[in-house]
Amino acid sequence: MKKFNCPSCGAEVIFQSNVSVYAVCAFCSSMIVRHDIDVESIGTMAVLPDDMSPLMIGTEGKYQGVNFHIIGRLKIGWKDGNWNEWYMMTENGGRGWIAEAQGSYAICFEYEEALPAETVKTLNKFLKMGNPLNEAVALNETAENTMHKEMLGTYLFINRLKYKIVDVKSAVCIGSEGELPFIAPNGRKTLAIDMLGIHGEFASIEFAKEKTRVYLGNYMEWNTLQFENLRPLEGW
């Protein structure tokens, strides 16, 4: 854990994870980037649009017998709606995500090994239908629709498991809070390829200008995550 003073208002800003490089000040909404020994403000985060999520920063839970707590959030928008991606830290130092959309929850962790050559070849073939790989996040709607049609149902191998592509969409960050492992200002664009394994495993490949990230995990039932310290909602 490291503590800094917000460059804009002077309030204390805490980075709980040693890999977090970005945070939003809880007092003035400044977007703060952490360097080795200091921090800088890169602007102000707009107020996050309200939703009915029962989760919040500070919510605790359990996944596969390991306790975790939420330390950050991305609010992601796309042409047909939005969803939340909650950044969490586990009691043993792990860092993962809870993807929350329309009452479903997927727990995933970044997979940092190289993808199989055949998987990379397949991805490159589809991505170059619209734009070069490093411009995949800037696809226009026509190119995105073409990719969606052509890629759905394709199988990819990741970490020796077989996954089926079930969704392809471009998205944009419409807000963030807490701390995160990468800089996430409003307008950050991504292209996401979501996949399912034959036993319900979840995988996602996210293309962003700064890096391509692969996430592996599972869809989970609400009661199995044993959430505590939830956001107060009328009717709950």
DSSP states along 213-232: EEEEEEEE-GGGG--BSPPP
Q: The domain containing residue 153 runs over which residues? A: 117-171+187-220
The answer to whether residue 137 sits within a structural domain is: yes
The answer to whether residue 206 sits within a structural domain is: yes
- For residue range 91-148, list pLDDT tens digits in order: 998 999 999 988 899 999 999 999 999 999 998 888 776 554 445 555 566 667 777 7
Does the structure show a pLDDT above 70 at 204?
yes
Q: Are residues 125 and 31 in the same domain?
A: no
The answer to whether residue 233 sits within a structural domain is: no
Output the CA–CA distances (angstroms, integers) from residue 142 to 55, 126, 131, 183, in the order listed.
35, 14, 12, 28
The answer to whether residue 121 sits within a structural domain is: yes
Residue showing tokens 């397949």: 122
Residues 6+ apart with CB under 8 A from 156: 119, 122, 123, 162, 163, 165, 195, 203
Count of the separate structural domains present in the chain = 2
The answer to whether residue 38 sits within a structural domain is: yes
The answer to whether residue 91 sits within a structural domain is: no
The answer to whether residue 151 sits within a structural domain is: yes
The rounded distance, in Å, linking the Cα atoms of 25 and 22 is 10
E strands of the chain, at which residues?
A: 2-5, 12-15, 22-24, 30-34, 39-44, 60-63, 66-78, 81-90, 95-101, 104-111, 155-158, 161-180, 189-197, 201-208, 212-220
Q: Are residues 215 and 124 in the same domain?
A: yes
pTM of the model: 0.90
The rounded distance, in Å, linking the Cα atoms of 199 and 87 is 25
| CATH (domain of 15) | 2.20.28
Structure confidence at residue 46 as a pLDDT band (50, 70, 90): confident
The answer to whether residue 87 sits within a structural domain is: no
* Range from 17-21, 146-150, 164-168 carrying the lowest mean pLDDT: 146-150
Instruction: Output DSSP code: residue 1.
Output: -
Task: Give mean pLDDT, residues 197-204.
Answer: 92
